[in-house]
Amino acid sequence: MTAHFLPPGIEVFERGWLSANNIFHFGENDASLVDSGYCAHQDLTIGLVRNAMQKHRLLKLNKMVNTHLHSDHCGGNAALVESFHCEVYIPAAEAIAVKNWDSTLLSYDNLGQECPQFPYQGVLVPGEEILLGRYFWKILAAPGHDPHSVMLYQADHRILISADALWEEGFGVIFPELWGEAGFEEVAQTLDLIEALPVNLVIPGHGAPFVDVSKSLASARSRLDYLASDPDRNARHGAKVLLKYRLLEWRSRDLAQVNEWIVKTPALMSAAKLLNMNIDEFTQWLPKALVKSGAAKIENKTLVDLG
């Protein structure tokens, strides 16, 4: 459906919420993939890449490029490196964290997620360009959802790979605000940066590519106003998203085990503090909040995902 808007040499593998979209770029001198999905889906990711390579008679995947290092965007890196011997490119600000696989600097422990360790060979420096397939893409800093996230912009075709900085409806959770770091202002600045670019097509981290950028910017800004005017809203939303993400993989989980995970996930404990709830209140509240929003149900003391 959306292929119609894409110039030759770019294919979007639209995924879901647990795995971010994969964007496949191919040309005479390069084949690269942007973002690799979640580790539980790595076999599917490898299959999608392999199919595309066969279809276009490509012998080599040169680069695996990550917009940011959340587990839904780079969870397939390790498996892709093993299968295709590709080089990995990460945002420059994450280099030390990845080199040392520093669990304090990387987000996985903090967000209660999993990501297999991977090596990297190159870094993405905002302001520089990178060849993906047959086009050069400008690397743009896009803090807010994640302080080190980048977007990729192709000026000739006016295409923006926006990661989680802009979706058709909204943007990724403003995580830094959950633990007392700045995020609202950064999101506003990133939206301003997007508005200043001529963009005909946005390829987001989740959801289908879209063309009505002003409409999406307007809805993102009204969402940002709503969240920033009462940071409790951002904390409640972020906590629900983190549990829902985990539940997407679990499908169903005994409530006692859910609570165990909540208590040992630092970002959730920070959210509880922000919301002035003690641990008991918070572990009582969070699964019920997910049920109330229609994303899960509780059956026989088990939390069950509703898709």
**Site for Zn ion, rule CB under 5 A:** 70, 164, 172
Which CB atom, from 62 or from 70, has the smaller least distance to Zn ion?
70
- Give the N- to C-terminal CA distance of the chain in Å, as an integer: 23
Which CB atom, from 179 or from 285, has the smaller least distance to Zn ion?
179
Q: How far is the CB of 73 from Zn ion (least distance, A)?
A: 6
CA atoms of 9 and 32, how far apart (whole Å): 10
Q: Which of 166, 287, 142, 262 is nearest to 223 (CA)?
A: 166
Q: How far is the CB of 146 from Zn ion (least distance, A)?
A: 6
CA atoms of 131 and 31, how far apart (whole Å): 9
Which CB atom, from 70 or from 246, has the smaller least distance to Zn ion?
70
Which CB atom, from 21 or from 42, has the smaller least distance to Zn ion?
21
The three-class DSSP label of residue 251 is coil
Q: How far is the CB of 307 from Zn ion (least distance, A)?
A: 20
Sign of CA dihedral 247, 236, 233, 230: negative
CA atoms of 233 and 229, how far apart (whole Å): 9
Q: How far is the CB of 74 from Zn ion (least distance, A)?
A: 10
Q: How far is the CB of 57 from Zn ion (least distance, A)?
A: 33
Which CB atom, from 58 or from 97, has the smaller least distance to Zn ion?
97
CA–CA distances in Å: residue 59 to residues 31, 53, 54, 62, 76? 9, 7, 8, 10, 20
The three-class DSSP label of residue 77 is helix
Q: How far is the CB of 296 from Zn ion (least distance, A)?
A: 21
Q: Cβ–Cβ contacts within 10 Å for residue 99, how many? A: 11
Which CB atom, from 133 or from 172, has the smaller least distance to Zn ion?
172
Residue carrying structure tokens 């981290």: 205
Which CB atom, from 67 or from 270, has the smaller least distance to Zn ion?
67
Q: How far is the CB of 145 from Zn ion (least distance, A)?
A: 6
CB-closest chain residue to Zn ion: 70
Q: How far is the CB of 277 from Zn ion (least distance, A)?
A: 25
Specify whether the CB–CB gap between 64 and 35 falls below 8 A: no
Residue carrying structure tokens 């009204």: 222
Task: State the amino acid at position 26 in one-letter form.
Answer: F
Which CB atom, from 31 or from 64, has the smaller least distance to Zn ion?
64
The residues pairing with 251 across neighbouring beta strands, listed in sequence order, are none
CA atoms of 20 and 3, how far apart (whole Å): 18
